[in-house]
Amino acid sequence: MDTQLNRTLGVPGIVLMVIAAAAPITVVAANFPIIIGVSGSVGAPLMVLAATVILLLFSVGYAWMTPRVPDAGAFYSYVHRGLGRRAGLGTAAIALLSYALLTVSMTCYLGVQAGNLIELWTGAQLPWWLISALMLLVVGLLGYRHIELSAKVLGAVLVLEVVAVLVIDLGVLFSGRELTTRPFDPAEALSGTPGLGLLFAFLGFFGFEATAVFRNEARDPERTVPRATYIAVVSIGALYFVSSWLVIAGLGADDAVAASTEHPDRVVIALAGQVVAPIVADVVQVLVVTSMFACMLAFHNIVTRYLFTLGQRGVLPASLAEVHARHRAPSRSSLWVSAATSLVVLVSALAQLDPVLQIYTWYSGAGAVGVIWMMALTSFAVVAYGAKHGAYGAKHGGASSAASSGASSGAPSIRVVVSAVLGGIGLLLVLGISVWNFPFLVGGTVEAIVWGAVLVGVFVAGLFLPHRSGTLTSAAPVVTEEIPR
């Protein structure tokens, strides 16, 4: 009996999944004003460019490791291979916590945004937690079924998002507003507080790194995953670079900082109505809600795949690695993710935490630091893995060459090593900025200390998780009888 997940995802499917997690319309409508406002300058395009370069450097080593890691553990598996079993287990614990926090934060924020939209249309005021509960149910149903269903939903939402962003961009281009080159001046990007601007530019890419999480459902993962990773980074970076410049041009280089600071949640939506048509502003508001839903679904799928892989490895109960007999999906892991996120949302609501100022701010801030931490560890794990397998050279330099030769080991080329080191240094810089501004991210100094202790504590606790085997090898999931729907 075939016990493997269906390998039906190609490059387009994986790219759609991970770019949907990055939530382009939400970044353009909500994150760009924050970048402009907190940095105090109009250098957002160069900040986006810097983030793109760092992540491309990271992607070189990340892609090179793909054919050498035979499962979908992503950060956990890569760190395990390079830095050892204990470091890998600590990374697994941080991965589960970080992506679960990001899922919950988006769930609660979605409840607020959708509630505002319903009130605008109907006048009815629904509690945010009721809407969030409904979204958890829908995401749970989608996550339980075959991954292609999620990919289709995310793909449809993503296409609408990208079209909306392009419509705004074209609206500015043809509005007759001055297309200033001031945002491309390095002096402009370095003025104000560029560190915070870079941090929020970096957060706009979150989700792309999950390409390797879907390798068990990818066709020819040794080729598909690296290509999807590069396409995702370049696509997101190009879209954000051009759009941030045009948003600044639309607002006016002299007025962009003040406008973004005063109305960060509405300034781009209002701009869309001005440069295209008033109805476009309403459409963008709707798409921000659907974008958040897509992001929530994508993060749910990421956590599910981590649980699935940890079940395979014997770190968590083997039942988490069971595959649904009909859907050929990690449905049991998805049910556990749904239960865990629902519990956290319930407890947060009962504690009467504000869904935006506390839940979203705290959880997403802590989750963001966790993801950056894992990415930095992964960069240096690539270097350590290469050092374990002999002198560096060009012979085994690329992911594609390794895939074509069937190699699963071998030293990386100098290009891969240099890229991984530079990417790791860049990520450490972003991590340092994140830690320095952690009180801002999570709402205060006390909150920063608490969340910092939680992140460190979870990583340390992960070091002592049990492990069924001493080496990381490919394992097949177990199929049990059909799980009742």
How would residue 159 be classed by pLDDT, with cut points 50, 70 and 90?
A: confident
- The answer to whether residue 277 sits within a structural domain is yes
- The answer to whether residue 1 sits within a structural domain is no
Nearest CA among 237, 241, 215 for reference residue 226: 215
Read off the pLDDT of each residue in 382-406 and give the average, rounded to a whole number.
Answer: 57
Most confident residue range from 211-220, 301-310, 372-381, 472-481: 372-381
- The answer to whether residue 6 sits within a structural domain is no
CATH classification at residue 25: 1.20.1740.10
User: Do the Cβ atoms of 358 and 167 come closer than 8 Å?
Assistant: no
Tens digits of per-residue pLDDT, 334-359?
A: 889 999 999 999 999 999 998 987 88
3-class DSSP state of 157: helix
Residue 70, domain extent? 11-469
Tens digits of per-residue pLDDT, 414-429?
A: 888 899 999 999 999 9
At 39 the pLDDT is 87
Residue 333: count other Cβ atoms within 10 Å of its Cβ: 27
At 216 the pLDDT is 66
- The answer to whether residue 441 sits within a structural domain is yes
At 397 the pLDDT is 42
| Whether the predicted pLDDT of 387 surpasses 90 | no
- The answer to whether residue 485 sits within a structural domain is no
The pTM of the full predicted model, rounded to 2 decimals, is 0.82
- The answer to whether residue 255 sits within a structural domain is yes
How would residue 182 be classed by pLDDT, with cut points 50, 70 and 90?
A: very high
At 484 the pLDDT is 34
Read off the pLDDT of each residue in 183-204 and give the average, rounded to a whole number.
Answer: 87
Q: Which residue has the higher pLDDT, 350 or 400?
A: 350
- The answer to whether residue 2 sits within a structural domain is no
At 460 the pLDDT is 94
The total of structural domains in the chain comes to 1
- The answer to whether residue 24 sits within a structural domain is yes
Q: Dihedral through CA 367, CA 429, CA 234, CA 265, nearest 10?
A: 50
Query: What's the CA angle centered on 134, arms 20 and 339, to 5 degrees?
Result: 85
